[in-house]
Each structure stands twice: as C-alpha cells, then as structure tokens.
Structure 1
Amino acid sequence: MTKPIKIEIQQLRPLQATVGMLEVEEKRKHVGSLDGKALKQLLSAAPIPTVLGKCGEHYIIDHHHLARALSDGAISQAYAEVVEDFSTLSETQFWDAVIERRWVHPYDERGILRALSIIPEDVAGLADDPYRSLAAFVRNAGGYMKTPEPFAEFQWAAFYRTRIPVWANSLQFKAAVEQGVYLASSPDARTLPGFKRPNRKSCNEA
C-alpha cells in the first residue's frame, strides 16, 4: 500500500453498480455535520482503497457508500490509498485481475448479475438497492458481525430480498429491520459471512 493521497471525488471509479441509498444518506448527514478539521481527520484516517487502472484511473474496491455520500454532500475531495497498481495491464487483463480478487460486483438494484458495462463511470451514477440498505441497518442493529468478506452486505441483501417484502415508509422499514435481525440468527443464514451463532443451552441445563 502507498501513502494516502488527496483525490477529487469525480476521479473515483466504482467497481460495483449499486449502493444502499438510506445508508448513503446517513453518511452524508454525518459528514455534513463536521467542520473542516474534523472532516479532514475522518477522511485521512479511513482513506478510500483503490486500485490503479489504465491512465492512472482510481477504481474503488471499498467505501463506495462513503464516496457517494461525499459526492451527494458536494464535498469535492477525499483521501485514497492505492492497494494495487494495474496501470500497465490491458483492459481485459485489468478486469480479469479485479474479478480474480473479488473486487468487482456487477449486480443491479434487483440483485441480478449483469455485464460489467452496468457499472457507472463515477460514484454519482451508482443506483439504489434498497435491500443493501436493509442489510446495513440489520448489521448496525447487531443482527450479524462486520466482516472483511468482499461484498458481505450484498450477500445479506440477497438473503433478505426473497424473504422480506419491500417497504413503503419508514415505519415499514423499521419493521423490516426487526424482521431482518430475527432472520439473521435463523438456520437459513448460517452460511452467510458474519453470522452470529446463537448461544446454545448445555444438555445439563433445565
């Protein structure tokens, strides 16, 4: 890895097609509440990890929600940390490399796998997957553990997509989160990253 560098938000290229906009909005409100010094400390302490492509373009491999929140909040710069330099690779070799490392996620807002061309050119073009927001709020509520597994929250989003009806208002979303926390400890979820095994009573307990 290299030393974090300051970079324009519009220079960041996504490696996924969607985000959860409710999570983005929470992050936007948070960064918008900070003064200049606090914002700089936050962004420099957690730089956006990128991989270099042709012409030195920065492709995001994590923190897409933060990048979109900064974009929506009209914050023009962030800090990036280059974890790999693939700038000498051909376009085909570049995509082969990021796919091999599980850094790319070309699924649409319905959770359907698409061609790589669905990934937008910049973070402002990321579409909303509401179940990605649900997965994040369930994790924050303690439903499952945060994990370094690539795109773990999207796996939980796919899990909930077939089990929880989409909501129409904040009250229904709150109920969806509660249901999501309950389902997170069910046997169906045990193969998902971050699954929290329920405490079992010993055979000697009454």
Structure 2
Amino acid sequence: MDTELSARIVELRPTQGALGMEHVREKMRLTSRTPELERATFLREHALRVVRGPGGTLHVTDHHHWARAWYELGIEVVPVMIACDYSDRDHDSFIAALRERRWLHPFDEQGRETPVEALPPSIAVMPDDPYLSLAAFVRMAGVYSDSPEVNAKFAWAGYFRERVQGDFASIAGFAKALAEAVAASRQDEARGLPGFNVKA
C-alpha cells in the first residue's frame, strides 16, 4: 500500500512498550543539525511507518525513536507512510494481523511482556529502556543488522539485559555499559541472535 501523508504526532499510537532515550537523543541531534530549509525533506526521508487500525487510528510500526525525537523537539505534524489499512477489522483481528506481521512488541521498560492493553497510549509517554539504546548503538557499530522479517533489537536488548549491569544515569555510566555490550556481542552466544554479522 505505502501511502504517504501527514499526521499529528500526539495522535499516533505505539506498537511497542518502551524505547531507548539515548537513541532518541541521538535522533534529536541529527534532526536539530539539519538546516531549516532541508528539514521537511529530512523528515520525509525518515517518515514514520504506520498502519491504520479500527476507527482510523494510526499505529507506528517502525521509527518509534524518530517519532519521540520529533515530539521532544516540538514538531507537531510529521510525515507517515501507511503500510497497511486494517480500519475495517475489529480489535482482535487487528491485533492478530500485527502479530502475524511481527509488528507488535508489547514489552515494558524491564523487557517483560505485557498485555497489548498495557501499551502506552501515545509516543509521548513511552518509558525508557536503556537496553534498547545499547542494542541500537551496537547495531550502528555493525555487529548485527535488522531484516524485514524480524526486528532484531529486542532480542539483542534482552541478551544485553542478562549480561550488562550499567549505571545509565550518567554519560560515563552509559559509555561503560556500551563498552560491556560490545564485548558481550563478541561472545559465542551472540552468534545465535538474529542479524548477527559474522564479519563484525
């Protein structure tokens, strides 16, 4: 389908329970340093991928971190790309479709699976899971990659959660945790995680 349009960011609903705020801050930095005349093009290049749900609601299936970054920067209307229209379905069949496409990740900031009903009602109130930031930065380092079939960062965040105990309240603490995450990604157990790059 892939229909492009604009939407008010406060009306978008997440399909995952948490995000990594350090990763969000990096996307805030990238957005802020984009010259004003190029900002609209930049936003379109990172358009949020959404699906239309029952009643016409829009649910973000990709780019939650861009969405939160733009919200934090006060951008009210953002470009979205509608991947699928499920507006004619009831709630249960809509959720089933999201699960089938692997577009639903109802995990809280502790990595615990929660009921779908417990998902945050908006991008603005998604809690911080620092392990998702670790997973994002390790991916940037080329350790693993996402595929269209699976969002690997959740598996990697869970892997790091079991192996890295960090003080995420400071830059130094996060840097130390990131170093430990990179070291953990070199362990043999990491080779079985989705997207692992054997050349990293």
TM-score, normalized by the shorter chain, greater than 0.5: yes
Q: Does 1:108 align with 2:108?
A: yes
The answer to whether the 8 A contact 1:143-1:180 is kept is: no
The separation in 1 between residues aligned to 2:199 and 2:99, in whole angstroms, is 34
Residues 1:185 and 1:148: Cα distance change in structure 2 (over 3 Å): farther
Name the residue aligned to 1:143: 143
- Alignment length (residue pairs): 199
The answer to whether the 8 A contact 1:47-1:80 is kept is: yes
Name the residue aligned to 1:202: none
Structure possessing the higher radius of gyration over alpha carbons: 1
Gaps of 5+ in 1: 200-206
Name the residue aligned to 1:204: none
Following superposition, which runs of at least 4 residues in structure 1 exceed 6 angstroms of deviation? none
The separation in 1 between residues aligned to 2:181 and 2:105, in whole angstroms, is 23
Name the residue aligned to 1:34: 34
Counterpart residue identity of residue 188, structure 1: E
Counterpart residue identity of residue 28, structure 1: M
Secondary structure, in 3 states, of the residue corresponding to 1:5? strand
TM-score (norm 1): 0.90
Residues 1:164 and 1:22: Cα distance change in structure 2 (over 3 Å): same
TM-score (norm 2): 0.93
The answer to whether the 8 A contact 2:47-2:80 is kept is: yes
Name the residue aligned to 1:197: 198
Name the residue aligned to 2:125: 125
The answer to whether the 8 A contact 1:135-1:157 is kept is: yes
Name the residue aligned to 1:47: 47
Name the residue aligned to 1:188: 189
Quote the sequence identity (%): 35
Name the residue aligned to 2:155: 155
- Across the aligned residues of Structure 1 and Structure 2, the Cα RMSD in angstroms comes to 1.6
User: What displacement does 1:33 show?
Assistant: 2.5
Residues 1:92 and 1:3: Cα distance change in structure 2 (over 3 Å): closer
User: More deviation in 84-93 or 146-155?
Assistant: 146-155
The separation in 1 between residues aligned to 2:143 and 2:96, in whole angstroms, is 34
